[in-house]
Copies of this chain bind each other. A is one copy, B any other.
């Protein structure tokens, strides 16, 4: 007996989401479709900033598509059923129907140069990103985004079981911002120093504060243009927060030791953040840049600062799956210190994504 699955498809800018239903077979003894993968019942999906960019038109997407890549759920079915004996999570442990899981935002081929030699599966030549692809009108493979009852996880997706003590709201954003931050910080050749500055306190910036705060930086300064967001930083590990204004250079000079900051993390996408970071870093300092994910993010900077100060600037986008595993462990260990679930707003039923007073209202 096929099951009715609810899907919310984004059609185009300015038009509401289209809600529709698919009939899919979830019974292992029925004839399975000609696909291999794992079907997951979505328990909670979050609206990421990039989803909002797509809805508003600042970012283009192939349409129609099922948005939503930040999600958690439970395994509903192995496809075909016979693979259930072979299916494992990223760490190699067997998976079962009913397991509560999250997964990498993309599936990789595990064969191209980026997957193998370069160890960058997130830049796989045949990368498939959930919540960013065209979704056909029918077939299991069209269930490729989080804004639906079910999502179909392809081979090459890294799956992680979630600890029972981590609730859905604390876990739902781990496979996007949190894992990206963990991955970027892992790239740095930076021992714990005296002073780190985090510019931009959205999800990227707050997870950065949480990780650096747990590492024990003596001065961890969070900066945002919005006073309420700046305030949040001190609840996620920052020792101080500042509101970005034309006074920010004076404030930083008063706050940071005279030789400069050891580390700056740019998590806002504003060109002024990068140029300010180069001014604020000490000789040998490091900048991790995460926020320039929009086309033609032009930045004009003094390259002599880069050279004479012996700086290192690293960009990071998405993540190696191991970073998702690490950030799950990290959030589990630190959830008594940081109230991660507070980062997710009101929860709505799927159908209300299309409601003008629903999930996308703000």
Chain A residues at the B interface, C-beta cutoff of 8 Å: 113-114, 118, 120, 122-123, 125, 187, 189, 259, 271, 274, 282-284, 289-317
Chain B hits for A289, CB < 8 A: 303, 306-307
Q: Besides the contacts A289-B307, A292-B304, A298-B303, what 13 more A-B pairs have beta carbons closer than 8 Å?
A: A118-B282, A118-B283, A118-B284, A123-B283, A123-B310, A292-B306, A292-B307, A299-B302, A299-B303, A306-B313, A309-B315, A310-B315, A311-B315
Interface of A is mostly: mixed
Copy number of this protein in the oligomer? 2
Chain B hits for A271, CB < 8 A: 303
Q: How far is the CA of A299 from the CA of B299 in the complex (A)?
A: 8
- Cβ–Cβ contact A317 & B310, under 8 A: yes
- Given A283-B114, A298-B302, A293:B307 Cβ within 8 A: yes
CB distance from A77 to the nearest CB of B (A): 34
Chain B hits for A284, CB < 8 A: 114, 118, 120, 123
- Cβ–Cβ contact B302 & A300, under 8 A: no
Q: How far is the CA of A47 from the CA of B245 in the complex (A)?
A: 47
Q: How far is the CA of A123 from the CA of B125 in the complex (A)?
A: 42
Q: How far is the CA of A309 from the CA of B316 in the complex (A)?
A: 7
- Cβ–Cβ contact B315 & A306, under 8 A: yes
Chain B hits for A291, CB < 8 A: 307
- Cβ–Cβ contact A302 & B296, under 8 A: yes
Chain B hits for A314, CB < 8 A: 310-313
CB distance from A266 to the nearest CB of B (A): 9
Chain B hits for A315, CB < 8 A: 303, 305-312
Chain B hits for A118, CB < 8 A: 282-284
What are 26 pairs between A and B in contact, CB < 8 Å? A114-B283, A114-B284, A118-B282, A120-B283, A120-B310, A125-B259, A271-B303, A289-B306, A291-B307, A292-B303, A292-B304, A293-B308, A294-B304, A296-B302, A296-B304, A300-B300, A301-B301, A303-B315, A305-B315, A306-B313, A306-B315, A307-B316, A308-B317, A310-B315, A312-B313, A313-B314
Q: How far is the CA of A123 from the CA of B285 in the complex (A)?
A: 12
Q: How far is the CA of A120 from the CA of B307 in the complex (A)?
A: 14
- Given A123-B284, A307-B290, A310-B317, A298:B301 Cβ within 8 A: yes
Residue in contact with A307 in the complex, picked from B302, B303, B317, CB distance below 8 Å: B317
Q: How far is the CA of A118 from the CA of B274 in the complex (A)?
A: 23
Top 9 closest pairs, chain A to chain B, by CB: A306-B315, A292-B303, A307-B315, A123-B283, A297-B304, A297-B303, A313-B313, A299-B303, A292-B307
Q: How far is the CA of A35 from the CA of B303 in the complex (A)?
A: 39
Chain B hits for A301, CB < 8 A: 298-299, 301
Q: How far is the CA of A291 from the CA of B123 in the complex (A)?
A: 30
Chain B hits for A187, CB < 8 A: 312
Chain B hits for A308, CB < 8 A: 292-293, 315, 317
- Given A120-B284, A284-B123, A315-B310, A300:B298 Cβ within 8 A: yes
Chain B hits for A303, CB < 8 A: 271, 274, 289, 292, 297-299, 315
Chain B hits for A317, CB < 8 A: 307-310
